[in-house]
Amino acid sequence: MSELGFLGIAEASDLLRAKKLSPVELTTALLQRIDRLDKDYNAFIAVTPEAALAAARQAEAEIAAGRWRGAFHGIPYALKDIIDVAGLPTTAHSKLLQNNVATADAAVAARLKAAGGILLGKLSTHEFAIGGPSFDLPWPPARNPWNRDYFSGGSSSGSGAGLAAGLFPAALGTDTGGSVRNPASQCGITGMKPTYGRVSRRGVLPLAFSLDHVGPMTRDVRDNALMLQVIAGHDPGDPASADEPVPDYTASLREGVKGLRVGVIRQFYTKDIAAHPEMAAAVEAAVGCFAEAGAEVREVPLPPLQDFSACGQVIMLAEAFAVHERWLKERPEDYGARGRERLLAGAGLRAADYIQAVRWRLQLRDAAAAAFRDVDLALTVSSHDPACRIDDDTALAATYSRQARMAFNVTGQPALVIPAGFATSGMPLSLQLVGRPFAEALLYRAAAAYEAATGWTKRHPAGLAG
């Protein structure tokens, strides 16, 4: 049973379909692991063992009867606690919503349920996906399984921590300025921010309407592709949802990168913001890996990283304040200090500031589109530094400025973060792959080639592999 902690979606699915493993056995093993380990990592706000075991028994009966729903049938997963599940609280890790029970499933929760997935519970987040890591909320912040004294990234912090600790094989996060990719970077797992509109956000608490994304988080590339397969697709209930066909995201995973034109956005980690030497070296090693595998590597110039960050920050803070204005006026004391401070920053913005940022965004998007005409995909840094201590306020503040993720919330392009080695501190290093709109399958293809060449996803935190 202890060996099931790091079993991925693809491998578990094969065993479940062949009846060599039962959904009840897998779910029971993970619930026991959560009970034993999560007190150290705080990945969960709430575990739902009774409902999980009931769903596992149903999945087991269906599989036994030959009613196979697909690769996600019988797979346990968990959800960031800003995603609605009917009958369960959606707290956003905040005192304001402690008793907020959802009346309907979010679109993504409904799709995972329909695919036969087994929900284990709701996961820690930064308060309202912006205020954290915080110690003045009803639940403690998640901690990094590679070293529990270190930050797990955010705001999808419980998703990253739980995956790295082997508590579940799949989770959903949300990404407004990097909140899927930050914990993926810090925890050494795989996180996809799909193209804006690729995945429905109906039933997900908003942070900033025009920047919000929902994305899959897993330990490896194939599993990520399998999870995106389930949640992607048009939803008329989300006004930003794109009516685009959904390809088979696993079809080209073995095709390699030979002949692909891979751009390097080197300025983001050398000129605009100098990355930690070990992080920069990891990205450069990846450049060499792609070149050695037959990709045509070339440098891609973009506007300064600070332009993307400033534009995205104005839009995010203005839209977030619009969401929270009433609560900030009526119940400011019920926010954690970090969440309140960050949300109130939007109160000083003028309508003119927001409109100018929206116009600027179009210019930045067009510049990125022009740069990507000559490449199939690009690679760059995600975080400029490995994870810092969770009690180091100065380093934590720098975490949100020393990153190259907001750029692709501004442009809406798909961006995938994968493990790229380890620093001398023992903390994970990472790599970000970026594509043209709706080119997620190509990102998975390139990432799978790099993953196979390096083997970074096969490493797990010491003491947790069993």
Which positions are catalytic?
Answer: 80, 155, 179
For the record, the structure tokens of 41 come out as 């990592």
Residue indicated by tokens 């036994």: 64
Element (H, E) at 441: helix 440-454
Alpha carbons within 13 A on the beta-carbon side of 197: 14
Nearest-angstrom CA–CA distance, 403 and 275: 9
The DSSP output letter for 292 is H
Nearest Cα neighbor of 72 from 194, 250, 252, 256 is 250
Please answer whether residues 83 and 203 qualify as being in contact, where contact means their C-beta atoms are separated by less than 8 angstroms: yes
Give me the helix-helix angle, 305-330 and 337-344, nearest 10°. 110
Please answer whether residues 121 and 47 qualify as being in contact, where contact means their C-beta atoms are separated by less than 8 angstroms: yes
Our CA dihedral for 332, 335, 339, 345, rounded to 10 degrees, sits at 0
Q: Which residues is 44 bridged to in the sheet?
A: 123
Nearest-angstrom CA–CA distance, 304 and 281: 21
Please answer whether residues 43 and 124 qualify as being in contact, where contact means their C-beta atoms are separated by less than 8 angstroms: yes
Sequence length of the chain is 466
Amino acid at 432: Q
Give me the helix-helix angle, 440-454 and 277-292, nearest 10°. 100
How many CB atoms sit inside 10 A of residue 284's CB? 14
Handedness of CA 69, 197, 265, 125 (dihedral sign): negative
C-alpha 267: how far from chain center: 24
Burial of 349 (0-12, 13-18, 19+ CB in 10 A): middle
Element (H, E) at 234: none
**φ, ψ of residue 371 in degrees (nearest 5):** -65, -35
C-alpha 193: how far from chain center: 6
**Residue-wise DSSP of 297-357:** EEE---S-HHHHHHHHHHHHHHHHHHHHHHHHHH-GGGS-HHHHHHHHGGGG--HHHHHHH
